[in-house]
């Protein structure tokens, strides 16, 4: 059984991620989308919230499983005997960082390959941070995130902004 892992912080999942998931799931018998920890980032949504949003966004994709893991990606891949890690490449600026991660992961787990899928042109400049910024200021995020989770993200971030405003007064 060929198992692929698509890791990320998915804080929150966007249409850019979904595009990669729907293309990558065709390459494996099972694709595990893993909500992982990037220690350089402060997440907005909890791991369980991110898992739940991913589950809703991928409910029509039978080969996709959603999980979360707080540890090394190379170790996680060993546990599941994964064939490859899948990453989406947006622009040239992603390349150096992704290449560094791919080589580090292969040093930690010699059997682990990283496969890069190119992001669709329309998602080239999309990021989870950009989505959160638009939502916090009341902008329409429906072009950027799966429709089934857009309202929840918007509500949650507007409430958060309102609560911050009140605590600052
Ligand atoms: N379309 C649009 N946007 C995309 C995208 C796509 N196809 N793919 C990624 N992005 C965006 C993401 O939304 C994210 O935006 P943000 O910076 O605003 O949050 C940004 O691009 C970076 O995403 P990604 O490259 O997936 O990084 P990440 O921080 O989400 O995830 C981990 C990095 C979690 C996979 C990595 O830190 C990890 O493996 N952690 C586990 C610990 C470990 O093993 N560390 C050693 C690794 S060598």
Which residue CA neighbors atom 1 of ligand 1 most closely?
16
Residues at CB less than 6 angstroms from ligand 1: 7-9, 11, 14, 16-17, 20, 36-38, 41, 72-73, 88, 90, 101, 104-105, 119, 123, 126-129
**Mutation test of ligand 1: which of 102, 106, 128 has the most ligand atoms closer than 8 Å to its C-beta?**
128
**CA angle at residue 3 from 119 to 11, to 5 degrees?**
45
Residue found by looking up tokens 């064939």 in the block: 83
Model pLDDT, residue 47: 97
Residue 136 is a catalytic residue: no
pTM, two decimal places: 0.95
Mean pLDDT over 70-98 rounds to: 93
> Do 117 and 87 form a contact (C-beta atoms < 8 A)?
yes
Residue 128 is a catalytic residue: yes
Band the pLDDT of 93: cuts 50, 70, 90: confident
Model pLDDT, residue 62: 94
161 pLDDT above the threshold of 90 = no
CA 128, 152, 63, 122 torsion: positive or negative?
A: negative
Parallel, antiparallel, or unpaired: how do β-strands 113-118 and 84-89 relate? parallel
Residue 41 is a catalytic residue: yes
> Do 39 and 10 form a contact (C-beta atoms < 8 A)?
no
Residue 90 is a catalytic residue: yes
Which residue CA neighbors atom 23 of ligand 1 most closely?
8
């Amino acid at each position: 059984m060929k198992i692929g892992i698509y890791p990320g912080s998915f804080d929150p999942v966007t249409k850019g991620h979904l595009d990669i998931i729907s293309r990558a799931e065709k390459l494996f018998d099972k694709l595990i989308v893993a909500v992982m920890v990037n220690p350089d980032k402060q997440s907005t949504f909890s791991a369980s919230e991110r898992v739940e949003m991913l589950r809703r966004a991928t409910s029509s994709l039978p080969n996709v499983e959603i999980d979360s893991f707080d540890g090394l990606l190379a170790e996680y891949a060993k546990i599941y005997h994964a064939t490859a890690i899948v990453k989406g490449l947006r622009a040239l600026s992603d390349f150096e960082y992704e290449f560094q991660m791919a080589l580090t992961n292969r040093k930690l787990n010699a059997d682990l390959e990283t496969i890069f899928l190119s992001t669709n042109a329309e998602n080239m400049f999309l990021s989870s941070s950009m989505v959160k910024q638009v939502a916090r200021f009341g902008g329409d995020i429906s072009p950027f995130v799966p429709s089934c989770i857009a309202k929840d993200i918007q509500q949650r971030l507007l409430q958060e902004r309102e609560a911050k405003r009140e605590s600052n007064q």
